[in-house]
Structure 1
Amino acid sequence: MSSSDQIPFAYPDLVANPEPRCPCLLLLDTSYSMNGQPIAELNEGLRTFKEELTSDSMAMQRVEVAMMTFGPVQTLLDFQTADVFQPPHLTASGDTPMGAAITQGLDMLEARKATYKQAGVGYYRPWVFLITDGAPTDHWQAAADRVRAGDGSERKAFSFFAVGVEGADMGRLTQICSPSRPPIKLKGLSFRELFIWLSSSLSGVARSQPGQMVALPPPTGWSAVG
């Protein structure tokens, strides 16, 4: 048997469901400063995210979710379709190694894109969604370079979104993000509203054709002004 004949057997999830994929990587700050109500509200928001995604039959089959937390850096979920995705219960501890989380997360995303190509499955421009209430406690400049190169107007390797919870260093997040996609400050602890917006946006992408431009709904109800 040739190596090409063996490829489908290596990716049973992609063979069983050959729909094009819309990958979404969640990079979530679980450092100690998130302890208490912030981490509780984040957990509730993730449960809402699951409920919203599974209410859309197209999103269930096309949207893939992966989750990496930092404080310390851990891959909690590898990419899986929304119908399989089960939000883990997050707890807060440690510092904020944001640079390492971004770097490892982008490596994981590149590996998944390579898998799509090997399996012959199409995919949409991936989303990377970072949520933090602090500032990096590690070297972050190389990670910022990768974000700006990948989310630039030419490569369009992924779309990188950053959301700052109360206490986040918005200036540092601005340095990490692409100038065309500046960070957004969260209004209070409106995680539920944020994840409803994220689910609605991903569902809109999943109903389009890969490569097609999709207008995103405005981040009303969860973003703070200024």
Structure 2
Amino acid sequence: MSLKKFAVAKARALPVIILADTSGSMSVDGKIAALNEAVQNMVSTFRQESARQAEIQVGLITFGGDKAEMHLPLAKASEIEAMQPLDAIGRTPMGHAFELATEVLEDKELITSRDYRPVLILLSDGIPTDSWQAGLERLTTSERGQKASRFAMAIGAEANIDVLEAFNNDLEAPVFKANEARDIHRFFRAVTMSVTARSQSRTPNELVPINFDELGNDDDDLGLDLEGQW
């Protein structure tokens, strides 16, 4: 009998791409520290997931200074040992981040037709300082950008809600508004739970609804120093 009959099917990838604002304003009130911890916790949780139906991949695009950059190229979460901490500096080139995200999504060798629908996560505490409209339109109208699950978080009162709402495409989970450090963790924990549930599901392409209110506000559970709030 052919050994092929006993071959274990390779898990399909479930890509998660984070677009993180690392402009100078993120350096105040503990925002960048909370973001660093939240991203690390997300990756750590994904790393512990067994690849049954779906194998979670993570990529991180940062936008701060003069341009956006691929801080963490898309890779299997199980193989990400450590991440360089994010630094906050400069302006908010969000439009360039949209361009980079589109390039990653449409790379047929990086994300194959066999892979599951990607998850995009955008977070920002300010107003884009470059020409973001064309980049956002290209992303949201691209073949894979349209199909991706897109979530957004507004950090603080200065975040441009209109841009984040244009990016977000989950009507059941509108733009999440983070008013203090604990909220960044609540947002990432909710998205982490949703992605993890998808990876364990028999139908990973189906979106798992997110209800931020159900997470509560248990400061002790988060283990955070919440003196820095905004």
> What are the ranges of 5 or more consecutive residues in structure 1 without an aligned counterpart?
1-16
- Asked if 1:201 corresponds to 2:194, the answer is yes
Q: Shift of the alpha carbon at 1:217?
A: 3.2
Aligned 8 A contact 1:53 1:203 in 2 = yes
Aligned to 2:116: 124
Q: Call closer, same or farther: CA 1:187–1:55 in 2, change over 3 Å.
A: farther
- Asked if 1:19 corresponds to 2:11, the answer is yes
CA distance in 1, matches of 2:209, 2:170: 18
Tell me which of 143, 152, 174 is aligned to 2:165: 174
- The count of aligned residue pairs is 201
Please tell me the residue identity of whatever aligns with 1:77: L
Aligned to 1:73: 68
> SS at the partner of 1:73?
strand
Tell me which of 41, 49, 55 is aligned to 1:56: 49
Q: Call closer, same or farther: CA 1:136–1:116 in 2, change over 3 Å.
A: closer
For normalisation by structure 2, the TM-score amounts to 0.76
- Asked if 1:95 corresponds to 2:86, the answer is no
Aligned 8 A contact 1:46 1:87 in 2 = no
Aligned to 1:83: 78
Aligned 8 A contact 2:149 2:207 in 1 = no
- Asked if 1:43 corresponds to 2:39, the answer is no
Percent identical pairs in the alignment equals: 26
1:183-225 CA deviation, whole Å, 9 max, x = no partner?
Answer: 22124222222222222111111122456424323123489xx
Q: Call closer, same or farther: CA 1:59–1:45 in 2, change over 3 Å.
A: farther
CA distance in 2, matches of 1:21, 1:179: 21
Aligned 8 A contact 2:105 2:111 in 1 = no
Q: Call closer, same or farther: CA 1:48–1:195 in 2, change over 3 Å.
A: same
1:111-152 CA deviation, whole Å, 9 max, x = no partner?
Answer: 1x44443xxx72111011111001111111112213432499
Please tell me the residue identity of whatever aligns with 1:200: M
Indicate the RMSD between aligned Cα atoms, in angstroms: 2.8
- Farther-moved stretch of structure 1 (141-150 vs 44-53): 141-150
CA distance in 1, matches of 2:38, 2:125: 16
CA distance in 2, matches of 1:35, 1:158: 30
- Asked if 1:135 corresponds to 2:127, the answer is yes
- Farther-moved stretch of structure 1 (191-200 vs 26-35): 191-200
> What are the ranges of 5 or more consecutive residues in structure 2 without an aligned counterpart?
1-8, 218-230
Aligned to 1:164: 154
Please tell me the residue identity of whatever aligns with 2:73: D
For normalisation by structure 1, the TM-score amounts to 0.77
